[in-house]
Amino acid sequence: MALDHYVTLGRSGLRVSPLCLGAMTFGEDLGWGSSVEESQQIMDRFIAAGGNFIDTANFYTKSHSEKIIGDHLGRHPAKRDRLVIATKFSGNLYPGDPNGGGSGRKSVINACEHSLRRLQTDYIDLYWLHNWDVHTPIDETMAALEDLVRSGKVRYIGVSDTPAWKVAQANVMAQFRGWSPFIGLQIEYSLLERSVEQELVPMALELGLGITPWSPLKSGVLSGKYTRSSAKGDKASREFAGTFLNEKAYAVVDELGVIAKAHDSTVARVALAWVRTQPGVSSTIIGARRLSQLEDNLKSLDLVLTAAELAHLDALTKPAFGFPQNMQPLFPSIHHGGTTVNGIYAPTTSFGVEKTDKLY
């Protein structure tokens, strides 16, 4: 696969590259990240390779991320119009102001206006609800977003870090009211974070939301920098990744190393290739603090894992689901025991009746 082999995002006509450039690290305002100059180089290289999807948020690096994108791309219509620029609302940039963040109408519209100014554009291609605001009714949020879509300031909307039942409520409501639905679902998804497969992934498949995984390398744990014998990288990245470094993580890294060696590749590329093949995934968000990291991540598109390798990684990291999914293996026998449906045979259960049994 190549970066310019575009896919439609969910049940929409929006064409995006299979990898999305995450801009959370644009700017050094938090004491780490990419300089303005290197951020510009990363964007230029990503676009030159065929990438057209860039993702940021209103409060990344204290809003500097949006400003960097706007200065470099937004003020040039010939560049900007060729791209899918996504940003998010919810984050509060004004401490002490209860309406400075969240998903209420006042906050959503205000955040959009400020993002447009920083991005130096008159429209946002994809506007994400960044995380669930339990204090705001979802119909208020969806109505505000619909107003932004109808005004032309927003083209499409998406949702991130929100329970599956709330996303489903929002999209069914939008369907019946003739409003714009969420077309994308941004969730943490990696070999070390598969709990999303219990509710969020099936919901996205059923409702037609394109999944855009964030942190596919689990905060760098699956980047190849961290092994039992070494932990490379700067202090900030080591401290952040250290939260997730445990025996399970090292076991997965070991296996990724074996597969990487067989393909003359890297641990990070194998981890990214696995995420890309998962059901419902449209475009995977890659974050690069350095140009060299971007180059390595882009090469993951050249890697094709075998069915055996995918099955091995799946078995190694398969999550244990709670109720009711943990009962799912029993249901086929209850539903159609003794027959084959859609190619799946189910044996009868001890509760099943025989032809000679009396039914009441």
Active site residues: 60
CB-based contacts of 28: which residues, under 8 Å, 6+ apart? 34, 35, 61
Rounded to whole angstroms, how far apart are CA atoms 20 and 117?
22
Give the type of residue at 287: G
- 128: closest CA among 139, 140, 112, 143? 112
Rounded to whole angstroms, how far apart are CA atoms 116 and 243?
35
Give the type of residue at 191: L
Angle between helix axes 36-48 and 291-298 (nearest 10 degrees) is 20
Q: Determine contact, residues 244/192, Cβ cutoff 8 Å.
A: yes
Rounded to whole angstroms, how far apart are CA atoms 60 and 87?
10
Q: Determine contact, residues 266/224, Cβ cutoff 8 Å.
A: yes
Q: What sign does the CA torsion over 67, 73, 75, 77 have?
A: negative
Give CA 338 to chain center in angstroms. 40
Q: What sign does the CA torsion over 78, 66, 216, 202 have?
A: negative
